[in-house]
Each structure stands twice: as structure tokens, then as C-alpha cells.
Amino acid sequence: MAQWRDMKKDELEKQYSPSQWSHRMAADDVIRVHVASLREGTQTARGVARTLLDVPYGEGEGEKLDIYMPSSSSSNLPLVIYLHGGYWQFLSKEESGFMAASLVPKGVAVVAVGYDIAPKGNMDLMVSQVRRSVLSVLQQYPRVSGVYLCGHSAGAHLAAMVLCTDWTQYGVSPQIKGAFLVSGIYDLLPILSTYVNEPLKMTEEVALRNSPGQLVPELKKASSACHIVVAVAQNDSPEFRKQSEDYFKALKSSGLTVTFEDVPNTDHFNIIEQFVDEDYYLTQLLLKIIG
């Protein structure tokens, strides 16, 4: 398989355009259907959960969370923090509560995190925001039985950056028990010369310090007890698949607890959309890890 450095710009752009690889429908349609599906799932979740919406975790306008709680009064529940995708420039927490539709009835709380997408937010700010969002959730719910991260695409990148956090700077030591990284990007260098970087305006320096693949020693130090699942869609692009495979191998060779899931009959979008279904393979796997 060609390394990204050998690719012409148009080939690289195609590799990093997930909608062009879906076998289900045309590129524009798959994105439109994706957004509609996430919105519908989030509406369903708001019907089954007790919700706390627009809870601030910082001073910024975009620094808000939506919390989906089971009706049971126990505070000693597992809690999943979801970080949305959208290439750091699209989507919001408003479409990001869909996982709660299948998890809340099983007694799992779900938090959907908002952050300042580009061009308002830059990469350093977004990483800082999601770290502070996790900190805020831990302070708000200190008695939860376990914290689990889930991120899709750009959100998987941000979840991986959370796992690398030096929490001593924040004066805490959170026990993140599990992380589901779904169709993520772990090396930002290949996207520097593509359309993806136009609103982000990352330099090589910014891309390197925010590439989880470069930060495996930091992750090992911060999150050695975490069970990490690296999941990728059968119909993700070869370059997206390679990113997941390479990141999984780097984690595994560092002795971390990590599993690789190559999910059949999925593309970049429905691999996450199907979390609304409690019988979906990845939903079942998440519930199993939560125990």
C-alpha cells in the first residue's frame, strides 16, 4: 500500500474523504443521511433519559455538555463520555446523544461533549477543551463506577489525546477504564496539505504535538489501566484503515491492553450510527467491557 508521502494531492484528498468510500450511497447523500441519523438517535435518547442540557464545563460559549442519565437514582453508575466527529469543523453535541438511546436503558449514563470546531477553534484549543470536559464530568460525578471514552473519526483522535493527558497538571488522577476509538485519525501529518486543514490551519509543529501516534509513551504513563478498543470500518478508506492498524500496533507493542475490531459491512458513518441499537456488535462489546 502506498505511503501517504508518495501520494499526489488529489489521491491523498480522496483517501481522507470518507464519504467517497461508502458502498451504500453517493458521497453527499451518505453525509446527509449520517447527520439525520445522529439527530434522530439523539431525539430518541432525549425521550428515554433524564437530561441535563448545556451544562457548562468552562467559560467559553462552546464549552458545554449534554448529560443523559438513567432514571435510577444511583450515582454509582458507569459513564460514557462521547466526543463527536466531523473533521474538527462540523457537527456538535446537539447530534451526539444518540448512544444514550441504547445505553441509558442498560443503566449507563452518557455525556455528549461540545467543543469549539474550526475555524473558531484550533487544534490546541479543542484538545484542551475535551480534556477539561472530562475533568469537569469527573468533578461533577465523583462516585461513578467507571468512566469510558468513545469518539468517532475526529472525536476518536480527541479521545486518544485525552488518554495521553498529563493529569498531574490538573491535580487529579482519573481512572478511565475503557476507550472506544472508532474510525479515527492518529497521525495528523497526512492531512496538512489537504482540504481538511484549510479551516484548521495547522502547522507541522501543531500536527505533531497533537498526533496520538507520537504520544504512545505519554498514553502508557497516563492510561495504562485502560482497555482500548481501536475499531475501523470494512469500507473505510485504505488510509483510514492503515491509521487504525498502525495505532493499534503501536499501543500493543507498548504492552497496553488494546483490541482491534475490523467491523464488517460498515463504512465510516454507519459504524457509529448503529450504536443506537443495543444489539449492534460494538454496543454489545462496549457493554461487555463496562461489565
Is residue 23 part of the annotated active site? The answer reads no
Is residue 236 part of the annotated active site? The answer reads yes
* List of domains in the chain: 4-290 (3.40.50.1820)
pLDDT surpasses 70 at 1 = no
Residue from 37, 102, 153, 223 carrying the catalytic annotation: 153
Is residue 34 part of the annotated active site? The answer reads no
Please say whether the beta carbons of 123 and 132 come within 8 A. Answer: no
| Helix/strand/coil percentages in the chain, nearest 5 | 45, 20, 35
Please say whether the beta carbons of 222 and 165 come within 8 A. Answer: yes
Q: Alpha helices of the chain — where are they, by DSSP H?
A: 9-15, 27-48, 100-103, 123-140, 154-163, 197-200, 204-209, 216-223, 238-253, 270-273, 281-290
Residue 4: the pLDDT is 84
**CA neighbor of 181 nearest in space, from 248, 274, 116:** 248
pTM check: above 0.85 = yes
By DSSP bridging, strand 64-69 and strand 50-56 are antiparallel
Residue from 84, 236, 244, 267 carrying the catalytic annotation: 236
pLDDT tens per residue, range 244-259: 999 999 999 999 999 9
**Mean pLDDT, the chain, as a whole number?**
95
pLDDT tens per residue, range 30-80: 999 999 999 999 999 999 999 999 999 999 999 999 999 998 767 789 999
What is the pLDDT averaged over residues 203-211? 98
Burial class of 169 by CB neighbour count within 10 A (0 to 12, 13 to 18, 19+): exposed
pLDDT tens per residue, range 89-110: 999 999 999 999 999 999 999 9
pLDDT tens per residue, range 137-192: 999 998 899 999 999 999 999 999 999 999 999 888 888 999 999 999 999 999 99
How long, in residues, is the chain?
291
Please say whether the beta carbons of 16 and 237 come within 8 A. Answer: yes
* Cα pseudo-dihedral 44, 131, 114, 65, rounded to 10: 60
